[in-house]
Structure 1
Amino acid sequence: MTTLSDLALTILTTADAAEKARLSREAAALWRAAPHMEIGQVCPPDHPARPEKPELLPPTEMPRRRGTSDKARAALLHAVQHIELNAIDLAWDMVARFTDEGFPRAFYDDWVQVGDEEGKHFLLLRDRVAELGYEYGDFPAHNGLWEAAHSTRDNIAARLAVVPMVLEARGLDVTPAMIERFGNLGDTASVSVLKVILSEEIGHVATGNRWFKFICQKQGREPKAYWQKMVRENFRGLLKPPFNEEARSAADFPPDYYVPLSAPQNAS
C-alpha cells in the first residue's frame, strides 16, 4: 500500500520540473482523499533530482536582473520559479526525512499543504514565463536554498529555524518590491501571480514557526532564544533588512526574534 513517504520519495526523485510540480499537487490530493494512509518511512536523497537546466552558479556570480524588457521580466520571475521548485522538494523532504520525531499527523498535513501550494506557485510562474517567451532553465540560478536544507538534514529544529523562518521569510520581505516593480510596468498578470505567492507564503512561514514552537514545548525550551541560537549556528551571515513586519507578524513572527540578528539598516 502506498504511504505518504512513498509519495514524497517519488516527487524528490522526479527530475522534470513541471512533472515534479504536478506530482506535488497530485500527491496532496491523494493524501487528503485517504485519511487512513500511513506516513511510512523511506530514505530520502540528500539531493533531489533536478533537470539538466538551469545552469547553477554561485550566488555571487548571478547576473543582475534589471530592465523592463520581456526578457528582464522573465528572468526575475524565473528566479522566483527556481525558488518554488526548491520549495516543492523542501516540503516533501520535510515529510519524508523527519518521520522519527514523534510529530502528530497535523505536521504532515501542514507540509503536504505547503508542497501543494509550492507546486501551484511553480506552475503559475511557468505559465507566466511562457507568456513572456521563455521557459524554466533559460536563465541561470543558484542552489543556496537546497544547500541550507542539506546542511540541516540531521536537525529538525535547525531545518525549521533556517528554511521557513529565515529563507522563506526573506521572500515575504522582497516580494512586495517585485509586485511594485511589475505594477509600475503595467504587468498586471505578473502582479497577480506574485500576490498569490506572497499571500500563501505567509502561511508557510507560519507553519515553520508553529512546528518550531512545538519542538520547543516538547523540549522545554524558550522559542525565541532557541531560534536565535539555531540561526546563529546554522545560517551564515546576518539577516538582511528591511523586513516586511506586517507579513511576518501575520505569520506570528515578531520583530524581537529577527531584528537582533539583522545587519544595520544601511547595509548593502
Structure 2
Amino acid sequence: MSGEESLVEAALRVLNTADPVEKASLGDDVANRWLQGLISRPYDPSLDLPVPDRPARLTNVKLVSPSLMPKLGKAGSLQSRQAIVHSLVHTESWAIDLSWDIIARFGKQESMPREFFTDFVKVAQDEGRHFSMLAARLKELGSFYGALPAHDGLWDSAMATSKDLLARLAIEHCVHEARGLDVMPTTISRFRNGGDNETADLLETVVYPEEITHCAAGLKWFKYLCLRSRNPNSGDDLLLSQVGANAAEDDDEEEEVVQKFHDTVKAHFRGPLKPPFNAAARKAAGFGPQWYEPLAVKDVSAQ
C-alpha cells in the first residue's frame, strides 16, 4: 500500500481537531479532496484505527444537562435571538463530528460501498458550512460561540449507538435530524417576526433544504442495510437500485423495512416521537407517515 492518506485517516484528523473553526475548515478541505478524487481510498484494509469515544473539543463552552438549559425564547429579543443561534451553532458543531464519526467508525467495519462514504462526506461538508455561517451570524448579533451554556445530548445518543450502524442511522439521521425539520419552519417564522430576516434567510435558503438531504441520506443507508441483510449475495449496485426504487413496487419489502425502523427506534430512543410533524419536509426526505406516525405520542383526548 502507498503512503497516501485514506478518507478514514483524514476523518480521524477532523475528529481529533479541537477547535471547531479549524475542524470545519479541515473537514471542508478533506471533503473537497475526496470529491475531486485526490483522496482515492476510503480506508486501508490493513489498518484498524481507533475511533475516539469523544471527539476533541475545546472547553470554552459551558456544558449543562439538557434539563438545566435556560429557555431560548421566541426570537422576540436580541438576547433570545442570540440564544437560539448559539444553540444552532452548537448543534452544527456536533453534526460535523457525527458525520465524520459515521465514516470512521462504521465505513470499514460494515464494508460499506464507496457511495456511503461520498454521501456522508457531503453531509459533513454541509454541516461545516452551516456551522461557519451560523457562527459568523452569531458574531453579527453581538455574541460568540461559547458565550452561553449548551448541552451534549446529541453526542450522548451517538455514543448509545456507537456499536450499531443501523441504530445510528435511525436515531441520529431519521429521528433527531427529522425533528430538526419539524421545528425549522417555526424557528424561521420567529426570526422573521422578530425582524431578523438575515438569520431567517440563512436558515430558510441554506440550512433547511440541506438538512432534508441529510435525513434522506440516513434513510437511504438504513434501507440499504436492511436489504443487504435480507439479500446478502446481492451486489451493491443492485441493492442501491432497489433502495432508490418506488416503494410501491414491493410493498412487503417496504413494510418489513419500516417495521425494522420502528423496532430500532423503540429499542434505542426514549419515549414516543413528538408531533406536530413537518409532513412536507419529511416526504421530501423520503419519509411517508407510515415511518413516524406509529411512533408518535398518542392523542389521549381522541380516546
TM (norm. structure 2) is 0.85
Work out the number of aligned pairs and report it.
267
CA RMSD across the alignment: 1.5
Task: Judge conservation of contact 2:33–2:39 (CA < 8 Å) in 1.
Answer: no
- Cα deviation for residue 44 of structure 1 reads 1.1
**Which of 188, 191, 207 in structure 2 is aligned with 1:197?**
207
Quick one: structure 1 residues 225 and 73, their matched pair in 2 at CA, closer, same or farther if it must change by over 3 Å? same
Q: Which residue of 1 aligns with 2:283?
A: 249
1:75 to 83, 106, 127: 83
Answer yes or no: is the 8 Å Cα contact 1:242–1:265 preserved in 2: no
Q: Are 1:223 and 2:231 an aligned pair? A: no
Change (3 A) 1:266 1:124: farther
Letter in structure 1 aligned against 2:123: V
Partner Cα distance (1:243, 1:45) in 2:
34
C-alpha distance after superposition, 1:141-181 (max 9, x if no partner): 11111011101010000000100000011100011101000
Which runs of 5 or more residues in structure 1 are unaligned? none
Which residue identity is paired with 2:223?
K
Instruction: Quote the Cα distance in structure 1 between the aligned partners of 2:283 and 2:38.
Output: 32
Maintained 8 Å contact 1:71/1:132: no
CA contact (8 A) 2:62 2:150 kept: yes
Paired with 2:79 and 2:13, the residues of 1 have a C-alpha distance of 33
Alignment of 1:76-155 (within 5 A): 76-98=84-106, 99-155=108-164
2:81 alignment partner, SS class: helix
Kept in 2, the 8 Å contact 1:78–1:129? The answer is yes
8 Å Cα contact 1:241-1:265 kept in structure 2: no
Identity percentage over the alignment? 43
Per the TM alignment, residue 6 of structure 1 is displaced from its structure 2 partner at its CA by 1.3
Say which is worse superposed, 8-17 or 215-224, in terms of deviation: 215-224
Q: Deviations over 1:58-102 (max 9, x none)?
A: 111100012523222011011111111111000000110111212
SS in structure 2 at match of 1:39: coil
- Structure 1 residues 265 and 129, CA gap change in structure 2 (3 angstroms): farther
Matched-pair contact (CA < 8 Å) for 1:21–1:123 = yes
- After superposition, the Cα gap between the structure-2 partners of 1:266 and 1:11, relative to the gap in structure 1 and judged at 3 Å, is farther
Aligned with 1:165: secondary structure?
A: helix
Query: Unaligned regions of 5+ residues in structure 2, if any?
Result: 231-252
Question: Larger Cα Rg: Structure 1 or Structure 2?
Answer: 2
Offset, 1:7: 1.1
Q: Does 1:8 align with 2:11?
A: yes
Q: Distance in 2 between matches of 1:174 and 1:19?
A: 29
Q: Distance in 2 between matches of 1:43 and 1:254?
A: 37
1:240 to 274, 279, 285: 274
Judge which range, 167-176 or 67-76, deviates more.
67-76
Answer yes or no: is the 8 Å Cα contact 2:169–2:221 preserved in 1. yes
The CA distance in 2 between the partners of 1:84 and 1:262, in whole Å, is: 26
- Corresponding residue for 1:185? 194
